[in-house]
Amino acid sequence: MAFDKKGSLKLKKGQKYPVGFSGVNVYTEIFRRIKKDNKKKLIYMEEKKLPGQYTANFHYDSSVSEAYLEDIIKTLSDFFGLVSVNQNTYVFGNPKNKTLQYKINFILKEKAGGNITAMQEKGTTVVFNRVLRDRDKGSKFRSAEDILNDPKTKKQLDDVFKKAPTKLVNWVHTYYEQQKQFLKYFESDKWDEFVYEGNDFVTFFQAQIKNVARSLDPLIPVGDYTTWNPSDIWAAYDLPTIQKEIKKNLTPKTQNLVELNSLLVKLFEERKLIGISLKLIGPGRQAHLVFRNDNPKNMTIGKIERYEMRDIKFKLDNIWEKPDKGAATVYADYGQHFGINFTRAGNNISYSSQVKNTSAQGGNAPVGMVIKLMNNYVPGNNYSNTQSDYPASFEDFCNKSDKKFKLEDFKKMYKIVQPHFSGGAPDFEEFAKIGGVLDRSFGDGDAKKARDGRVKLMFLNFFSNAFQIKNPTKQKEFWTDLLYLGMKVGKDFAPHVKIGEKSS
């Protein structure tokens, strides 16, 4: 390999370098760049050894510009080749051999003041431990004020929120409602502590899930913890025994997700292990506890099952409107209770489920599972959530390029989606003309702005495929399944209880 005088890799035309053993060449190039640009205090690399693929987490401070990150990504792509992009995860190297690839997760470091989400969840464990273990039997908190007036609880919560003390008052009502609902179902002195740090079950499963696959033939890994399990905290009876039993089944016996979920359902039914998904409860609102995925009945939601296609309303006008307001969000509204927000996440699209009339957000559908769903329902599906398949600029859009999609492809997509606009939408030629909506969305040579134009084209690609499902029954199944993916409901997800805001 050749290097220039500054110590950087020197690239010949048409040449790509190997990532090197354990990705050493990629890692070296990043470290050289960070050191040269005096970014060592703002960026650090955390290498993660995973079977079959070398991985690293690239942690960066919020002061690091996206343009700087994109320039690093471009350099790595030029040197080693870009295999795939999934939201903020990039894979470089040989597209035909995973052992010759290097995966990098770009992660924004928590801002000063601490991780608010972690504080909120740890605060729940403080309150639950008090009502289940420390206080007199049957003595629960009768109000939010009751929590703050309990000296021991207040001291522990103050310690949890010491980096953001003003946030505690916003969550006390939620804690009161959470413990009230939980104790209706699980009040007992047999529960072990809701461990949050150390040997907590979230950390335990984050490590163990790497040994589990959704399918063995072909091999399809589960992915990370959040694509499988929405539980924020866990409650257990006889914690060491439970962990031992799960490890015994996971390694090496349990190699597929069906077996793991079956084990968790068994423990769930025996009330030995309960995963809990926590949601914000708004002021004056009540909490509601629901069981998910522990039996066939709880793998569906009655309100969703009753929807017909006429109940699902699409709001897609932001594709052709608001060129100067970023990529904007488009929507699918499911009656009065649910919805999906399609919006830009980094360089790609996220699919965020919404429970309407509540203070909490729903979850995001795993990208890989969305694409699999489309493959199952859309004949000849060509949807891609990979930014490198799309034009990098308006000029690239207009000219012949080596991208997966060309101008004529987008013209066909637009024609399919146009009938679903509310009215007043321009034809494709107007939408795609110089100085038009798409041109202004891409911006003029601004890499950050260009993402907005590219995501509008991703929207066209997604919906033009989805709208090709013509059978009414299949249409309903597709849009229902997509909503379930975001809500982590179904056989592919872990059993859990959700404590969220009562919606009606």
Q: How far apart are CA 455 and CA 387, in angstroms?
A: 8
Report the pLDDT averaged over residues 246-274: 80
Highest mean pLDDT among 10-24, 242-256, 340-354, 444-458: 340-354
How far is Cα of residue 297 from the mean position of the Cα atoms in its chain? 26
Residue among 412, 328, 340 at smallest CA distance from 373:
340
Q: How many CB atoms lie within 10 A of CB 296?
A: 8
- C-alpha separations of 97 from 48, 93, 319, 435 in Å: 19, 8, 37, 43
Phi, psi for 63 (deg, rounded to 5): -80, -10
- C-alpha separations of 291 from 72, 87, 125, 355, 483 in Å: 45, 30, 19, 16, 17
pLDDT at position 183 = 83
- Using omega within 30 degrees of 0 as the cis cutoff, is the peptide bond preceding 252 cis? yes
The CATH architecture annotation of domain 21-108 reads 2-Layer Sandwich (3.30)
Look at 218-222, 259-263, 363-367 and tell me which has the smallest mean pLDDT.
218-222
Look at 231-240, 251-260, 297-306, 468-477 and tell me which has the smallest mean pLDDT.
251-260
Domain extent listing, the chain = 21-108, 116-300+493-504, 309-486
Q: How confident is the model at residue 254 (pLDDT cuts 50, 70, 90)?
A: low
Q: How confident is the model at residue 433 (pLDDT cuts 50, 70, 90)?
A: very high
pLDDT at position 87 = 60
Average pLDDT, rounded, for the chain: 83
Q: How far apart are CA 281 and CA 283, in angstroms?
A: 7
345 bridge partner residues: 348
Sign of CA dihedral 21, 22, 24, 29: positive
Q: How confident is the model at residue 258 (pLDDT cuts 50, 70, 90)?
A: confident
Q: How confident is the model at residue 116 (pLDDT cuts 50, 70, 90)?
A: confident
For 192-235, the pLDDT digits (tens) are 767 665 567 887 788 778 777 777 666 677 777 888 888 888 88
Q: How far apart are CA 375 and CA 381, in angstroms?
A: 6
Largest CA-CA distance found in the chain, in angstroms, rounded: 75
The one-letter code for the residue type at 33 is R
Tokens for 31, please give them: 């470290």
DSSP labels for 15-65? Answer: ------GGGHHHHHHHHHHHHHTT-TTTEEEEEEEETTEEEEEEEE-TTS-
For 7-17, give one letter per residue: b (16+ CB within 10 A) or e: eebeeeeeebb
pTM of the full predicted structure? 0.71
Bridge-based pairing of strands 82-86 and 273-278 is unpaired
pLDDT at position 219 = 64
For 293-349, the pLDDT digits (tens) are 998 998 988 889 998 999 999 999 999 986 665 557 899 999 888 999 998 887 788
Is residue 398 within 8 Å of 407, Cβ to Cβ?
yes
Q: How far apart are CA 121 and CA 118, in angstroms?
A: 5
Look at 6-20, 72-86, 102-116, 304-318 and tell me which has the smallest mean pLDDT.
6-20
Q: How far apart are CA 251 and CA 208, in angstroms?
A: 9
Host H or E run for residue 415: helix 407-417
Highest mean pLDDT among 158-162, 384-388, 458-462: 458-462
Name which residue leads in pLDDT, 195 or 261.
261
pLDDT at position 2 = 45
The SS3 call for residue 303 is helix
pLDDT at position 261 = 87
Name which residue leads in pLDDT, 297 or 163.
297
pLDDT at position 14 = 59
Is residue 121 within 8 Å of 102, Cβ to Cβ?
no
State the number of CA atoms in the 13 A half-sphere of 7 facing the CB.
Answer: 9
For 36-92, the pLDDT digits (tens) are 888 888 888 877 655 456 788 888 876 777 678 888 998 898 889 888 876 678 889
Residue among 61, 91, 64 at smallest CA distance from 77:
91
pLDDT at position 189 = 59
Q: How many CB atoms lie within 10 A of CB 336?
A: 12
Phi, psi for 100 (deg, rounded to 5): -110, 30
Residue 287 reports pLDDT greater than 70: yes
DSSP labels for 258-273? Answer: HHHHHHHHHHHHTTSE
pLDDT at position 112 = 43
The residue behind tokens 């050749």 is: 2
What angle (nearest 5°) sits at the alpha carbon of residue 373, between those of residues 369 and 376? 140
